[in-house]
Amino acid sequence: MSKIPARAWRRAWWIVPGVITALIIGFAVSIPIVNDSVARDVEMRLLDLPLPAGAERIDSMSQAGRIVGNGNGMQYFGALLIRSEDSADELQRFYTDHQEAIELAITVTPAQELQDFHGAHGFLGRVGEQGTFVVQAEGHAPGGVFENADLRGH
């Protein structure tokens, strides 16, 4: 057997900690990226649904974080802002009939009644105008590590 030179040991001494550090940093950076991706998927599922007759889509958004309520844990929101002549109840019935297609529960809220979204950006963060509605759904965590390790959920 050949003897490993001292120079190779010195290089290995720096390479191993460097690789371990890169793995730890890479994992930490990937957590918010994966969580944002889950929220974007919820938004995309909502966008794939048909609009009610006469409704107009104004905007859409997604956000991962602690948006509603207190405590720890992530929420994965997708939302549409639509304008419609229909009532919130009529829109809720329409989307309830379509929610099986995306495998998520859908909630319709008049945009003027938005109050509970304390960490939200975009149209969820402000009160909307008369005749506009927020169609929202919440996704599920890809795993406990992603839900608990993202600081936005605390």
Token pair for residue 48? 């794939």
Q: Over 80: is that where the pLDDT of 154 sits?
A: no
92 membership: H or E segment, kind and range: helix 88-102
Quote the pLDDT of residue 28.
84
pLDDT-wise least confident of 68-72, 89-93, 131-135: 68-72
Name the one residue in this structure whose structure tokens are 């966008």: 47
pLDDT band of residue 119 (cuts 50, 70, 90) is: low
Q: Give the pLDDT mean for 89-109.
A: 93
Lowest mean pLDDT among 6-15, 38-47, 93-102, 103-112: 6-15
Residue type, 10: R
C-alpha span between 137 and 47 (Å, rounded):
11
Query: pLDDT, tens digit, for every residue of 5-57?
Result: 777 667 777 788 888 888 888 888 889 999 999 999 999 999 999 999 999 99
The closest alpha carbon to 128, from 142, 138, 117, belongs to 117
Find the Cα–Cα–Cα–Cα dihedral 45, 153, 88, 46, rounded to 10°: -10
Q: Which position has the higher pLDDT, 3 or 28?
A: 28
The values of phi and psi at residue 5, to 5°, are -65, 155
pLDDT (0 to 100) of residue 144: 78
Tokens of 3: 């003897």
% the chain with pLDDT above 90? 45
The residues that bridge with 135 in the sheet, in sequence order, are 80, 108
Structure confidence at residue 138 (pLDDT): 92
Torsion sign over Cα 56, 61, 62, 66: negative
> The pTM is what?
0.81
The CB density around residue 16, as the number of other CB atoms within 10 Å, is 10
Q: How far apart are CA 105 and CA 64, in angstroms?
A: 17
**Contact (CB, 8 A) for 83 and 55:** yes
Give the start-to-end residue ranges of the domains of the chain.
29-153
Query: Which pLDDT score, from 0 to 100, does residue 13 have?
Result: 73
Cα separation, 42 vs 57, in Å, equals 16
